[in-house]
Amino acid sequence: MSKYKAGSYKIIADGYLHDLPVKFTFSDDQITGIEIKPGTKLHGLEKQALPQVIDRILTEQTPDIDAVTGATVSSDGLTDALTDVIDQMPATVSKY
C-alpha cells in the first residue's frame, strides 16, 4: 500500500499577517515538492525561514518538525497545511 496518493495538492496556509498559497507534491512514498505560489509577498523573517522549513520537511519527510525561530506562525502554518493535506488523502492510503 502506498504511503501517499501521488499528485499535487494546493492549499492556503496561514502566514504571518497573510495567507500563503502552497502546492505540495507527492509520489507514492515521498513528499517530493513544496512550492509557495510565485509572487507571494513574504514578510520579515519568512523570506529566510520558509526555505529552511521546506528543506527540513523534505529532508525529514514529515510535517512534524520544529518551527524556525522568529517565524513560528508561518512555520506552523506550513506544517499544519501539510498535515491537513495528508489527513484528507483517500482512506485507502496508509498514513503510517
Q: What is the pLDDT of residues 61-73, one digit of tens each?
A: 999 998 888 889 9
Q: Tell me the pLDDT band of 75, cut-offs 50, 70 and 90.
A: very high
Domain residue spans of the chain: 7-87
Whether residue 96 has pLDDT greater than 50: no
From CA 54, how far away is CA 57, in angstroms rounded? 5
Mean per-residue pLDDT over the chain, rounded: 90
Percent of the chain residues topping a pLDDT of 90: 72
For residue 42, which phi and psi values (nearest 5 degrees)? -100, 140
7-87 CATH, one of 3.40.50.300, 2.60.120.10, 3.90.1010.20, 3.40.640.10:
3.90.1010.20
- The per-residue pLDDT for 43 is 85
Structure confidence by residue, pLDDT tens digits, 3-34 = 899 999 999 999 988 999 999 999 999 999 99
Give the predicted TM-score (pTM) of the model: 0.89
Rounded CA-CA distance 31/79 in Å is 12
Average pLDDT on 72-85 reads 95
